[in-house]
Amino acid sequence: MRILALTNRYPRPGREQDAVYNHLQARALAREHTVAAVVPVPWTERVANRRTGVTIPPELDRDRVHVYHPTYYYPPWVLQSAYGRFYQASVRRTFLRAAAALRPEVVLACWAHPDGWAAVQLGRELDLPVVIKVIGSDVLVLGRAGRRAARVAEALREADGVVAVSRDLADHVVRLGVDPGRVHVVPEGTDLEVFCPGDRGEARTRLGLPADGRVIVFVGNVLLSKGAGVLVEACGALAARGAEFRCYVVGRGADTAAVGRSVERLGLGDRVTLAGPRPQADLPDWYRAADVVTLPSYSEGIPNVLREALACGRPFVATRVGGIPELVRGPAGRLVPPGDPAALADALAAVLADPPPVTEAERSVNVSWDKSARQLAGHLRAAAERG
């Protein structure tokens, strides 16, 4: 099968850690199918890259996936409900050229708006079926209310199929008016050869962390919506109780500075470290170094971070939102309400006092990328055959 992907959420020079999951899935698809990807680069990123010396070529090959990099022009922060039209106009020439070269049987758009909306319009122009993959915020946040929410719902209703990463997210899509028969759940994969149990002490040594003491690890976008601020407040509560621990926040995001100010305000500089973005290859050691991994988000699809933590044999404390409860199959997954620092502190304290082992049943929430890709390919093929 020939598959043409369209998404601005994909690794690229200067942002190699962005949406790695989309590339891993495309790479797995490319083992059995022919895959190309149109990955628009926002014009604002192009401007920033000129200052830093980063060059993104118009085309490149990445693990058997041919990637095109057109520039996406849009007005930042305003007219967001029209981003789909800006996106469509920006990528159309490159998309048509990629389609002429590949002769795709189906288009896969990753992210509902603007990517999915534009894919539906371009697919209609070329008489190609379009499947939209949704992962969380593109439905749970963008699809909540307002004009942009209407565009999200429009894209999903007009697509030939929708793939969601969790049952909870699929139910949200159906509530937007999409035919339940065209909505399918395909879990994201996990590289089980990379994310696997390992020695905690050796991991800490490789990362340059102290060998002793309890460690809490947060991995992801450093955003208040991901609960990074709530985590700092919870760490303050733990410190006030006299708990001995270190917390490492691994990642970057728009709220990094605000989180750093909270750390300073609470006097937690010796307890909470903003470790910054780290290479994907280092993440297994960050999980292994932890006594507990935490993700106190306000909204989620089904986070890869928690899957990867379980694959590495580490328990987690997270919030009871989105598809996260689908990952809990035993005591290694503990859930708290979102936005509740006290409840988060209590749960973290309980796990730090007596970290539960992760059972094979709990690790089994993970599937390989090859299995995930085969499931996705089945739905893509069905859409292609329906025409």
Sequential pLDDT tens for the chain (387 residues): 999 999 999 999 999 989 999 999 999 999 999 999 999 999 999 999 999 999 999 999 999 999 999 999 999 999 999 999 999 999 999 999 999 999 999 999 999 999 999 999 999 999 999 999 999 999 998 888 899 999 999 999 999 999 999 999 999 999 999 999 999 999 999 999 999 999 999 999 999 999 999 999 999 999 999 999 999 999 999 999 999 999 999 999 999 999 999 999 999 999 999 999 999 999 999 999 999 999 999 999 999 999 999 999 999 999 999 999 999 999 999 999 999 999 999 999 999 999 999 999 999 999 999 999 999 999 999 999 987
User: What pairing do the DSSP bridges indicate for beta strands 292-295 and 71-72?
Assistant: unpaired
The rounded distance, in Å, linking the Cα atoms of 35 and 64 is 8
Superfamily of domain covering 200-363: Glycogen Phosphorylase B; (3.40.50.2000)
Those residues whose C-beta lies under 8 Å from the C-beta of residue 227, and which sit 6 or more positions away, are 295, 296, 297, 298, 319, 338, 339, 344
Residues of each domain in the chain carrying CATH 3.40.50.2000? 2-189+368-386, 200-363
Q: Report residue 139 as tokens.
A: 């439905």
Residue 8, SS3?
coil
> Is 257 within 8 Å of 225 (Cβ atoms)?
no
Decide yes or no: CATH 3.90.226.10 for domain 2-189+368-386: no
User: What sign results for the dihedral spanned by CA atoms 263, 264, 265, 267?
Assistant: positive
Residue 354: per-residue pLDDT: 95
Q: Which residues pair with 4 in a beta bridge?
A: 36, 107
Residue 278: per-residue pLDDT: 93
Residue 95: per-residue pLDDT: 99
Nearest residue to 39 (alpha-carbon basis) of 79, 18, 51, 52: 18
Residue 143: per-residue pLDDT: 83
User: What pairing do the DSSP bridges indicate for beta strands 65-68 and 59-62?
Assistant: antiparallel
How many CA atoms lie less than 13 Å away from 331 in the CB half-sphere?
Answer: 6
